[in-house]
Amino acid sequence: EAKQAGRNCSRYFLASMNQSLDERLNLESELRQALSAGQLQLHFQPKLALADARVLGMEVLLRWPHPVRGWVPPDRFIPVAEECGLINALDAWVLEAACRQLRDWAEAGLPGLQLSVNVSALRFVQDDVAAHVQQQLQRHGLQASQLTLEITERLMLDERGRPHEQLLALDAMGVRLSVDDFGTGYSSLSYLKRLPVSEIKLDKSFVRDLDSDPDDRALASAVISIGQALDLSVVAEGVETEAQRETLLRLGCRIGQGWLFGRPMDAQAMAQWLRSRERAPA
Q: CB nearer to ligand C2E: give 73 or 112.
A: 73
> Which residues have C-beta within 8 Å of that of residue 77, sequence separation ≥ 6?
27, 31, 64
C-alpha–C-alpha distance, residues 201 and 152, integer Å? 10
Q: Taking the complex as a whole, how short is the minimal distance between the CB of residue 80 and ligand C2E, in angstroms?
A: 12
Please identify, using beta-carbon distances, which residue of 3 and 266 lies nearer to ligand C2E.
Answer: 266
Q: Give the number of residues in contact with Mg ion, rule: CB under 5 A.
A: 6
CB-based contacts of 150, cutoff 8 Å, min separation 6: 59, 116, 117, 118, 119, 178, 179, 180, 201
DSSP readout, 201-213? EE-HHHHTTTTT-
* Residue placing its CB nearer to ligand C2E in the complex, 7 or 263: 263
DSSP letters for 16-75: HHHHHHHHHHHHHHHHHHHHHTT--EEEEEEEEETTT--EEEEEEEEEEEETTTEEEPHH
Smaller CB separation from Mg ion, 199 or 237? 237
* Binding of residue 118 to Mg ion (CB under 5 A): yes
If the CB atoms of residues 169 and 185 are measured against ligand C2E, the closer one turns out to be 185
Q: Which of the listed partners (Mg ion, ligand C2E, none) does 94 bind, with a CB threshold of 5 to 8 Å by partner kind?
A: ligand C2E
**Distance of closest approach, residue 226 Cβ to ligand C2E, in angstroms:** 18
The sign one gets for the Cα dihedral 236, 239, 243, 246 is positive
User: Which of Mg ion, ligand C2E, none interacts with 61 (beta carbon under 5 to 8 A by kind)?
Assistant: ligand C2E
The least CB distance from residue 209 to Mg ion, in Å, is 15
Beta carbons of 223 and 183 less than 8 angstroms apart: yes
The answer to whether residue 120 forms part of the interface with Mg ion (CB under 5 A) is no
Tell me if 30 contacts Mg ion by CB under 5 A.
Answer: no
Find the Cα–Cα–Cα–Cα dihedral 229, 223, 50, 276, rounded to 10°.
Answer: 110
Q: Which is nearer to Mg ion, 127 or 150 (CB)?
A: 150
Contact residues: ligand C2E, CB under 6 A: 45, 61-62, 73-75, 78, 91, 94, 118-120, 150, 180-181, 204, 237-240, 257-259, 264
Applying CB under 5 A, among 147, 180, 182, 197 the residue interacting with Mg ion is: 180
- Site residues for Mg ion, 237-256, by CB under 5 A, read 237
* CB-CB contact of 97 with 42 (8 Å): yes
Which does residue 91 touch among Mg ion, ligand C2E, none (CB within 5 to 8 A, set by kind)?
ligand C2E
Q: Which does 238 bind (CB under 5 to 8 A by kind): ligand C2E, Mg ion, none?
A: ligand C2E
Q: How far is CA 58 from CA 45, 55, 111, 115, 188, in A?
A: 5, 8, 14, 5, 28
- Looking at the Cβ atoms of 30 and 180, the one nearer to ligand C2E is 180
199 binds Mg ion, rule: CB under 5 A: no
Please state the closest distance from residue 43 (CB atom) to Mg ion, in A: 12
- Contact flag: residue 127 with Mg ion (CB under 5 A): no
Render the burial of 46-80: b for 16+ CB within 10 Å, e for the rest.
Answer: bbbebeebebbbbbbbbebeeeeeeebeeeebbeb
By CB under 5 A, name the binding residues for Mg ion.
118, 150, 180-181, 201, 237
